[in-house]
């Protein structure tokens, strides 16, 4: 047995059960999914969307690298010479107030926006060098979980999750249904598999959007404000789900948020954007201990928020 699900299997067994909405996630729900994917030969790098790394590139470079990236809109600078990188399997949280260019950074990573100057490389490949076909390949490697879920309205939850499995080809209907059901179980949405997205709560939609993103078997999962517009309890559960998917499945994750609690829960590294600049880029503990006045102000905002409910006491 080989593949990217394998090395996380041992870890998956000692997972904390976590919940989204009011459904309990099964602590070992990954195991059947993994066995299934292995049986289908869909694990390992061959199972993931093909790497866009140029042939012969070193295997352990950063998955995402921004090098002095600048972008302005109508002459107004949004990012100025921003540099950072994300290693494989790590979670970067991009923090900063509204309007500092967090979403713009994600859109540049997917090649939807091009920087005015500087370079962006995914798996060592410079995005500026990609043609349309290259960008399509990129967007299979790097997928976004949108705030509103961006689910197809006319399709059931199961059909939404099955969609990327169908797209990748090579699976029959029965295999697709089985894998979709396992992904749905992984995010604790079994009870709504037949439902249309419109009938789901915001938190549920995001959990289903995560299952659909995973079905595409990307290398990098981008989350744009995954915990806004849901109550603190659901926010914490979604945070727990992101952490669990990262630990079990080894995805490289980039989480844009203005919520430092989510950053504390998830981040290996932090990029703090302020007035167009990367005011901080480095490991989470260093960020939390940073002396910079702006960072301290940002972290203190936490103190003015309502404390999080204890998930153990949730109904
Ligand atoms: N396509 C665009 N055209 C013009 N201005 C844009 C565009 N996209 C983003 N902006 C501006 O860039 C700034 C940063 O936006 P954004 O990255 O969405 O902020 P946030 O950090 O809140 O996600 C904002 O002032 C926004 O109005
Ligand atoms: Mg944004």
Give me the pLDDT at residue 81, please.
98
Give me the pLDDT at residue 188, please.
84
Say if 136 falls within a structural domain.
Answer: yes
Say if 124 falls within a structural domain.
Answer: no
- Cross-strand pairs, 220: 142, 252
Q: Identify which of 76, 79, 94, 99 to mutate to test ligand 1's pocket (most ligand atoms within 8 A of the CB).
A: 99
Give me the pLDDT at residue 298, please.
92
Sign of CA dihedral 178, 179, 180, 183: positive
Question: In terms of residue numbers, what domain contains 182?
Answer: 6-53+89-117+129-309
Say if 104 falls within a structural domain.
Answer: yes
Give me the pLDDT at residue 59, please.
59
Give me the pLDDT at residue 25, please.
34
The Cα-based distances of 176 to 40, 62, 66, 140 in angstroms read: 11, 32, 36, 18
- Model-level pTM greater than 0.85? no
Residue nearest to atom 18 of ligand 1 (CA): 103
What is the residue-averaged pLDDT of the chain? 80
Binning pLDDT at 50, 70 and 90, where does residue 11 land? very low
Tally of domains within the chain:
1
Say if 81 falls within a structural domain.
Answer: no
Q: Identify which of 101, 224, 277 to mutate to test ligand 1's pocket (most ligand atoms within 8 A of the CB).
A: 101
Helix (H) / strand (E) element for 258: namely none
Tokens of 42: 């869909």
Ligand 1 atom closest to Cα of residue 256 = 23
Chain-centre distance for alpha carbon 308? 23
8 Å CB contact between 112 and 103: no
- Cross-strand pairs, 66: 84, 120
Residue 161's closest CA among 225, 221, 110, 207?
207
Binning pLDDT at 50, 70 and 90, where does residue 99 land? very high
Q: Is 225 helix (H, G, I), strand (E, B) or coil?
A: coil
Distance between CA atoms of residues 194 and 160, nearest Å: 10
8 Å CB contact between 85 and 69: no
Say if 84 falls within a structural domain.
Answer: no
Residue 186's closest CA among 235, 242, 226?
242
Report the range of poorest mean pLDDT among 71-75, 89-93, 209-213, 267-271. 209-213
- Cross-strand pairs, 252: 220
Burial label, 192 (beta-carbon count in 10 A; 0-12, 13-18, 19+): buried
Say if 45 falls within a structural domain.
Answer: yes
Separation of CA 65 and ligand 1 centre (Å): 21
Give 109-134 as a DSSP string: HTTSS--SEEEEEETTEEGGG--HHH
Separation of CA 95 and ligand 2 centre (Å): 10
Distance between CA atoms of residues 216 and 143, nearest Å: 8
Chain segment 12-43, per-residue pLDDT in tens:
322 222 333 323 333 344 444 555 555 444 44
Per the model's pLDDT, the better-predicted residue between 169 and 112 turns out to be: 112
8 Å CB contact between 254 and 109: yes
Say if 123 falls within a structural domain.
Answer: no
Query: Over pLDDT 90: what percentage of the chain?
Result: 46
Give me the pLDDT at residue 64, please.
97
- Cross-strand pairs, 278: 273
Residue nearest to atom 4 of ligand 1 (CA): 73
Binning pLDDT at 50, 70 and 90, where does residue 304 land? low
Ligand 1 atom closest to Cα of residue 100 = 21
Residues having CB within 6 Å of any atom of ligand 1? 73, 78, 96, 98-104
Burial label, 169 (beta-carbon count in 10 A; 0-12, 13-18, 19+): exposed
Per the model's pLDDT, the better-predicted residue between 278 and 185 turns out to be: 278
The Cα-based distances of 279 to 64, 119, 294 in angstroms read: 19, 19, 9
Per the model's pLDDT, the better-predicted residue between 55 and 308 turns out to be: 55
Tokens of 120: 């962006």
8 Å CB contact between 61 and 153: no
CATH of the domain at 293: 3.40.50.300
Residue nearest to atom 10 of ligand 1 (CA): 73
Sign of CA dihedral 176, 201, 235, 224: positive
Q: Any idea what DSSP says for residue 306?
A: P
């Amino acid at each position: 047995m080989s593949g990217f699900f394998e090395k996380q299997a041992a870890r998956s067994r000692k997972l904390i059960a976590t919940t989204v909405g009011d459904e309990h996630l099964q602590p070992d729900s990954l195991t059947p999914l993994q066995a299934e994917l292995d049986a289908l030969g869909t694990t390992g790098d061959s199972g993931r969307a093909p790497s866009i790394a140029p042939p012969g590139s070193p295997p352990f470079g950063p998955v995402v690298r921004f090098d002095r990236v600048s972008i302005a809109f109508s002459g107004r600078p949004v990012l100025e010479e921003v540099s950072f990188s994300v290693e494989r399997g790590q979670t970067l949280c991009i923090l900063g107030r509204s309007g500092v260019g967090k979403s713009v950074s994600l859109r540049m990573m997917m090649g939807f926006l091009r920087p005015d100057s500087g370079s962006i490389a995914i798996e060592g490949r410079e995005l500026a060098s990609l043609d349309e076909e290259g960008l399509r390949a990129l967007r299979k490697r790097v997928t976004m979980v949108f705030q509103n879920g961006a689910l197809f309205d006319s399709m059931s939850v199961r059909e939404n999750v099955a969609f990327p499995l169908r797209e990748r080809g090579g699976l029959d209907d029965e295999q697709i249904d089985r894998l979709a059901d396992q992904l749905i179980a992984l995010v604790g949405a079994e009870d709504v598999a037949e439902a249309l997205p419109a009938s789901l709560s915001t938190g549920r939609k995001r959990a289903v959007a995560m299952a659909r993103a995973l079905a595409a078997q990307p290398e990098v999962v981008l989350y744009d404000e995954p915990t806004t517009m849901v109550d603190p309890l659901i926010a914490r559960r979604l945070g727990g789900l992101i952490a669990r998917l990262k630990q079990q499945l080894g995805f490289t994750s980039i989480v844009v948020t203005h919520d430092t609690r989510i950053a504390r829960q998830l981040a290996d590294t932090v990029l703090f954007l302020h007035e167009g600049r990367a005011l901080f880029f480095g490991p989470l503990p260093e960020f939390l201990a940073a002396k910079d006045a702006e960072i301290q102000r940002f972290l203190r905002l936490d103190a003015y928020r309502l404390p999080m409910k204890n998930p153990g006491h949730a109904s």
